[in-house]
């Protein structure tokens, strides 16, 4: 970082302190242009940058383009970063979950079902009186009755059956307050007052786990994606303040309609995570993943398993909806078993629980990403879901597929990761749908897309060795091998589950991009990022061998 301050670890430090010695052992630069220096006027990686010759001056000092740097002063192209202060609060469990704790205490109270708690119910009589006080026909409630009810709601009379004295989570709520009712006290955001999710008819890029990273979303956004969503984030990891999980929530400033997707199996962690994100990041909606088919998630009760755990599912949806100021959406599949569809039974319940939209993937968990999506069933569910919007998902690889999908009555379509992968095969699919044409894109144009992805990756992951290799092995670019150029197709459009025989492209680069041999993609990466280190591997050994 260009600092020559004293190292407090002294002789115990295992790192180099001599910049000259470091530069002598550093591998050769990969190029003469640093995308960070060119874009922002300053490269924060300094001497560790693999393109450092573009911004190192005398004595290895980091050069700064003052005029360009001033344009970005106080600004950041990426939002939703995890601050050190917030991470410390989460790790020390000092973050306040006031709304979530209130909802969870309501779940724990005994109800009229013989003392068994756990089912989400409506508000208590006292809460209903406060809610009635705030209805439009009575005004917004600054009268004396509301003040009395507010004080009662804030400082309820202690129950003799409970242990005296508030707990740590109740200290703030037990303080007596005087004066008018504030939003933080009693007034709750009603569903009619929440921000609406107006995305009907828009093209929605699905949250692609391991592939839908920020650089790839920027590519899709440039080609016409209207709505983007971050990769699936595990709520427990977010609550623990894990930097790697919080990185999945980052939002580029070009993503004007952006949401995050959460995965979890229990109402306490999901509700708390929703409140955490509601207070700390900027999103337009929050999505619940009830469609993940992988065993690691399913066996813990998350993903598709929630479709079989209706009580927990209801508690999660109601709880998250109660703490969020933005719309809540849900992504589901047709069911768990292949020939037993249950989505049509669940969708009306999801609407009743307060979700603003549902997305239906036309396959079951057992099908994973194979066979065709059942769009007839999606059409049936779209009618059942009305007036709640329902987006359809599955087998969209051309504008004809998109047109047929919209004719089923869905509110919009989600472009996702079917096998072969829709948006990952051809991120320009959004342009084809909007312009209603087949784009016979050349190999040089496709290579330019890979170069842009590389530059975006260096911005996102860094231009040092670690960032370069992370960009190099990003799985998103390697799905291009499954694209068949329009000019080579026997008939249009390409079907999503059709695999061609090995073929020669119209030029060397097109042939190289059609290869499924890992060695050929190493060559492509070398064209983008220079020579591959001898110790570098794209994939685990067993996967690399299977590709060969």
- DSSP per-residue codes, 422-480: HHHH-TTHHHHHHHTS-----HHHHHHHHHHHHHHHHHHH-SSHHHHHHHHT-TTGGGG
Omega before 420 cis (within 30°)? yes
* pLDDT for residue 51 is more than 90: yes
* pLDDT for residue 357 is more than 60: yes
- The mean pLDDT of the chain is 82
Distance separating alpha carbons of residues 245 and 176, to the nearest angstrom: 38
Reduced to 3 states (helix: H, G, I; strand: E, B; else coil), residue 386 is coil
Confidence of residue 383 (pLDDT cuts 50, 70, 90): very high
Q: What is the pLDDT of residues 23-41, one digit of tens each?
A: 999 999 999 999 999 999 9
Distance separating alpha carbons of residues 237 and 259, to the nearest angstrom: 18
The pLDDT of residue 465 is 93
Two tokens at 495? 């079907």
The pLDDT of residue 146 is 38
Mean pLDDT over residues 173-182, rounded? Answer: 52
The pLDDT of residue 7 is 82
Output 184 or 115, whichever has higher pLDDT. 184
Confidence of residue 367 (pLDDT cuts 50, 70, 90): confident
Query: Which is it for the CA torsion 47, 50, 55, 57, positive or negative?
Result: positive
CB 338 within 8 A of CB 364: yes
The pLDDT of residue 208 is 86
Biggest alpha carbon distance in the chain?
83
Distance separating alpha carbons of residues 468 and 120, to the nearest angstrom: 48
Q: What is the pLDDT of residues 507-547, one digit of tens each?
A: 999 999 888 888 888 888 888 888 877 655 555 443 443 43
Spell out the domain ranges in the chain: 4-75, 203-439, 465-529
Q: What is the pLDDT of residues 235-244, one digit of tens each?
A: 999 999 999 9
Q: What is the pLDDT of residues 481-497, one digit of tens each?
A: 778 888 888 888 877 67
* pLDDT for residue 355 is more than 70: yes
The pLDDT of residue 155 is 43
Distance separating alpha carbons of residues 179 and 300, to the nearest angstrom: 47
Q: What is the pLDDT of residues 416-470, one digit of tens each?
A: 754 334 567 788 999 999 999 999 999 999 999 999 999 999 999 999 999 999 9
Confidence of residue 395 (pLDDT cuts 50, 70, 90): confident
Q: Report the share of the chain in percent with pLDDT over 70.
A: 78
Distance separating alpha carbons of residues 176 and 156, to the nearest angstrom: 10
The pLDDT of residue 236 is 96
Output 465 or 177, whichever has higher pLDDT. 465
Confidence of residue 500 (pLDDT cuts 50, 70, 90): confident
The pLDDT of residue 193 is 66
Confidence of residue 186 (pLDDT cuts 50, 70, 90): low
The pLDDT of residue 373 is 87
The pLDDT of residue 420 is 37
Alpha helices by DSSP H, 155-227: 214-222
Mean pLDDT over residues 262-266, rounded? Answer: 96
Terminal CA-to-CA distance of the chain, rounded, Å?
A: 41
The pLDDT of residue 167 is 42
Mean pLDDT over residues 114-133, rounded? Answer: 43
Among 292, 304, 480, 481, the one annotated catalytic: 292
Reduced to 3 states (helix: H, G, I; strand: E, B; else coil), residue 42 is coil
Q: Is 13 a catalytic residue?
A: no
Mean pLDDT over residues 274-294, rounded? Answer: 95
Confidence of residue 123 (pLDDT cuts 50, 70, 90): very low
Q: How far is CA 124 from the centre of its chain?
A: 35
Highest mean pLDDT among 67-81, 248-262, 511-525: 248-262
Two tokens at 309? 């755990």
Phi, psi of 345 (to 5 degrees): -85, -30
The pLDDT of residue 308 is 93
The pLDDT of residue 525 is 87
Q: What is the pLDDT of residues 286-334, one digit of tens each?
A: 999 999 999 999 999 999 999 999 999 999 999 999 999 999 999 999 9
Topology classification of domain 203-439: TIM Barrel (3.20.20)
Q: Report the share of the chain in percent with pLDDT over 90.
A: 57
DSSP state for residue 227 in the 8-state scheme: B
């Amino acid at each position: 970082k260009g600092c020559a301050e004293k190292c407090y670890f002294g002789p115990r430090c295992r790192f180099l302190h001599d910049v000259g010695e470091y530069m002598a052992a550093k591998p050769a630069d990969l190029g003469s242009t640093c995308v960070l220096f060119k874009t922002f006027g300053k490269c924060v990686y300094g001497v560790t940058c693999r393109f450092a010759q573009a911004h190192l001056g005398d004595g290895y000092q980091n050069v700064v383009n003052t005029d360009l740097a001033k344009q970005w002063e106080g600004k950041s192209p990426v939002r939703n970063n995890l601050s050190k202060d917030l991470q410390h609060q989460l790790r020390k469990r000092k973050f306040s979950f006031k709304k979530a704790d209130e909802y969870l205490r309501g779940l724990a109270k005994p109800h009229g079902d013989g003392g068994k708690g756990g089912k989400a119910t409506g508000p208590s009589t006292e809460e209903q009186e406060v809610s009635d006080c705030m209805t439009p026909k009575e005004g917004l409630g600054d009268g004396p009755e509301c003040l009395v009810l507010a004080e009662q709601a804030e400082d309820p009379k202690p129950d003799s059956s409970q242990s005296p004295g508030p707990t740590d989570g109740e200290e703030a709520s037990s303080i007596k307050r005087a004066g008018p009712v504030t939003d933080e006290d009693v007034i709750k955001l009603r569903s009619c007052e929440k921000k609406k999710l107006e995305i009907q008819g828009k093209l929605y890029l699905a949250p692609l786990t391991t592939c839908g990273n920020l650089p790839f979303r920027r590519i899709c956004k440039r080609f016409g994606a209207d709505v983007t969503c971050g990769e699936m984030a595990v709520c427990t990891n977010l609550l623990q303040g894990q930097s790697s999980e919080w990185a999945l929530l980052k939002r580029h400033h070009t993503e004007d309609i952006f949401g995050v997707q959460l995965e979890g199996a229990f109402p306490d962690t999901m509700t708390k995570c929703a409140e955490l994100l509601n207070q700390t990041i900027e999103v337009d909606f929050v999505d619940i993943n009830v469609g993940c088919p992988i065993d690691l998630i399913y066996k813990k009760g998350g993903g598709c398993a929630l479709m079989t755990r209706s009580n927990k599912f209801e508690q999660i949806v109601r709880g998250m909806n109660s703490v969020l100021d933005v719309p809540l959406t849900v992504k589901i599949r047709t069911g768990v078993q292949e020939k037993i569809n249950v989505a049509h039974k669940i969708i009306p319940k999801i609407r009743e629980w307060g979700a603003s939209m549902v997305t239906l993937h036309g396959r079951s968990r057992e099908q994973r990403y194979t066979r065709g999506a059942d769009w007839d069933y999606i059409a049936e569910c779209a009618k059942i879901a009305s007036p709640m919007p329902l987006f359809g998902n599955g087998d969209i690889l051309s504008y004809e597929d998109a047109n047929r999908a919209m004719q089923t009555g869905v509110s919009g379509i989600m472009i996702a990761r079917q096998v072969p992968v829709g948006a990952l095969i051809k991120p320009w699919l959004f342009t084809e749908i909007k312009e209603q044409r087949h784009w016979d894109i050349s190999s040089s144009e496709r290579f330019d897309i890979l170069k842009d992805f590389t530059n975006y990756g260096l911005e996102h992951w860094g231009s040092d060795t670690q960032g370069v290799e992370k960009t190099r092995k990003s799985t998103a670019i390697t799905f291009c091998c499954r694209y068949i150029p329009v000019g080579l197709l026997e008939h249009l459009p390409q079907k999503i589950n059709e695999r061609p025989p090995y073929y020669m492209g119209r030029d060397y680069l097109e042939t190289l991009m059609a290869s499924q041999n890992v060695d050929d993609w190493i060559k492509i990466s070398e064209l983008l990022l220079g020579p591959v280190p001898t110790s570098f591997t794209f994939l685990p050994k067993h996967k690399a061998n299977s590709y060969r």
